[in-house]
Structures are given as structure tokens and as C-alpha cells.
Amino acid sequence: MSRGSGDEDAYDHRYPDDDGLRITTLEALFEFHASSHGPDDGATTGPCIDIERPHRLAFFTLILVADGVGVHEIDFEPHEYRPGSLLITSMTQVQRFVINDDTRGHLIQFTEPFLLRNLGRLDANLIDVLYNYELRSPIADATADNHLAGAINELADELAGPDRADREEMLHLLLKRVILAAGRLVDRIGAAPRADTNLGWSALFFEFRQLVEEGYWRSRSAQSYALRLGVSYKHLNGVCKATVGRSAKTYIDDAVILEAKRRLAIDDTPVSRLASDLGFDEPGNFTKFFTKRVGSTPTQFRETLVSGVPDQALRGVTTGSIRHKRHYAAFAKAGPRPISGTRVHARVR
């Protein structure tokens, strides 16, 4: 596991590092952000993205807040946090920060290749459950839980320590402990699945979800997915309503809208090209589809993000000294530095 301290070792919102696992403190992230910038005119010491602009993750994250209150946006939904909050973000999701200098905590990132290299099938199932953002809230309250904080501290200690022959195996075991503690937490305190379903229905829904993820651009017909699954449309609809509280058709349309929002947020793909990528024959049909469900055209939605200023609702729930209209420099280009000193290696309290 590399443990350098230059820009080349900073966190990348696309890749934590070559080894696939990294942990840093939120205060180190924000400090790096501040030190990598020039005056308030927006000058930076290197390539940057705006931290208040959405960016898409290619890894899994866990954020445990120790101090401070504020808001973190995941897939365009603001989530208020406070001391003890646990924020869970999956790969492919889009997030953005509102910088609050008073916030303290830990940020863990790990990639799918790291999991495939180190975890067994049972461990992969744990990830499927914990990071199923359609069934679980992305935020939970860990105020009364000391197991998760202790597990994160042990993982941080191992990452900060010297390289050993058994280091990756130890990191695997410690990360598994973190994931188990987080999973028990969300199950125990009510961040569990939003609907109670039997195992057969859950399995069918997960298969349906996978088909939608793989083929939403080919078809938005619920009947066609039911046919591929070998069940009736009525049964599929009932499973979806029981599992996520939406009809199968609404679930499919919501998946298309979410992907459209993500693409509009993270790149400059012309709307006409995006419409084609999402399976629409004509850009005008896509615009009507998007506007009906979002309340603004795709272009208008993108423009609200380009402004770089979060919604007033986000400002209203955030206290403390908040930096805004600034940028990530190498931190978002390459990411948070791994824990390597006492300043970064703060304990979770």
C-alpha cells in the first residue's frame, strides 16, 4: 500500500490509489483543499474541479463524522449530518461537498478490484447489502456505537504503520470489520431496507435491478423486463412496490432520470448525444421525458450545476465557516493523502 505525501499520492474521485484502499480525515481533506489554492480569485496550484460541483465515484466510501454539522449531497439529495453520522456512498453515485471547516471525521475509500482481490463471496454479499442505496438510506446515526469508531481507528493505525508481509491480509480483515460494524449499525437503528420483503421477492427485485442497469437504454418497458424474468407484469409490479415503494415502470423511468442527471452533472456531453445514449430516438422526446419528471429541461438542470453554488436549502442547514466557490486542486484530481502523520491520523472520538 503506497504511503507517499505528494500530489501524486492525493485522492482521486475516480481511483483511491493503485492498491485500492485509502483512509484520511475530513479535516485533512479540507486542509489540503485550502492549501492547494491561491487567493479567492479561484487561482489554484494545479488542475482542479470545483468541490461544490458533483463528481462521480468509482469506488465505495464511508464517512464517519466526529464533530461538526452540515450537509453532504449524494445523487442530488442533501443529507444533514452531525457528530456520529455515518454517510454511505456507493461507486457510480454522484456526490458533492459543502466545505465546513468545523467538520471532523474519517473518510474511507475502497475499490471493487480491492474487494475482488481480497474478499470472499460472503464479504461481497455484505457490500451488496450495505451499499444498496435503493433499499437503504445513505445516512445513519452511529452516536451510540463505539464498535464502528474503534474499527476505523484500527484500520487507520494499520495504514499508518510500516509495510509488512501480511499487511494486505490484515487490511482485508480490518476493512471487513468496519463493513460488518457499519452493516450491523444500519440494521439495528432503522436504516434498514425501506420495505420488508421475503427472500424470493428480494432476489427477483435484485435481478430486475441488474437487468435495468444493463439495458435501460434498450428498453423502458416494464412488460419486456417481466418477460425476460419469466414472471407476469403484475407480479413484477407487486415486487417492486413492496421492495422500493414504486411500480416497475416508475422504477425504470427513475433509473433513466438518475443516470441522465449524473451525466449532465459530470460531463459536457451534448443533450442530443445524451438522448441517444439513453435510448431516445429524438432529443425532443428525451427533453419532454426529463422535463416532465424533473421540472426543468436538461440544459436548465445542467446550468444550475455549472453555477457551482449549492441550493439555498443546503446553505440553510449548514453551520460554521463554509468555504464556497472554491475548487479541488490535486485532492480531487488525485485524492486525499493516506494517513502518514499525527495531523492526519486523528482519532475517532
Residue ranges with strand state E in the chain:
21-25, 55-56, 60-67, 70-74, 77-81, 85-89, 94-97, 99-100, 104-110, 139-141, 322-323
Q: What average pLDDT does the chain have?
A: 77
pLDDT on residue 188: 63
How many angstroms separate the CA atoms of 85 and 101, rounded? 17
Q: Quote the pLDDT of residue 17.
A: 53
**Rounded-to-integer distance, Cα 166 and Cα 130, Å:** 27
Distance from chain centroid for Cα 161: 28
Per-residue model confidence (pLDDT) at position 169: 85
pLDDT digits 0-9 by tens, 221-236:
999 999 999 999 999 9
Residue 157's nearest CA partner among 314, 335, 3 is 3
* pLDDT value of residue 89: 93
Kindly list the strands in the beta sheet with 77-81, ordered across the sheet, starting from the edge strand earlier in the chain.
55-56, 94-97, 70-74, 77-81
Type of residue numbered 68: G
Q: How far apart are CA 155 and CA 175, in angstroms?
A: 7
How high is the pLDDT of residue 41? 44
The DSSP annotation for 121-177 comes to HHHHHHHHHHT-TTTS-SEEE-TT-HHHHHHHHHHHHHHHS---TTHHHHHHHHHHH
Percent of the chain past pLDDT 90, that is, above it, reads 43
Under 8 Å between Cβ of 49 and 55: yes
What pLDDT does 200 receive?
Answer: 72
Those residues of the chain that have pLDDT short of 70 are 1-19, 32-52, 119-125, 188-199, 306-349
The whole-model pTM stands at 0.77
Query: Cα separations (Å) of 131 from 63, 135, 307?
Result: 13, 9, 30
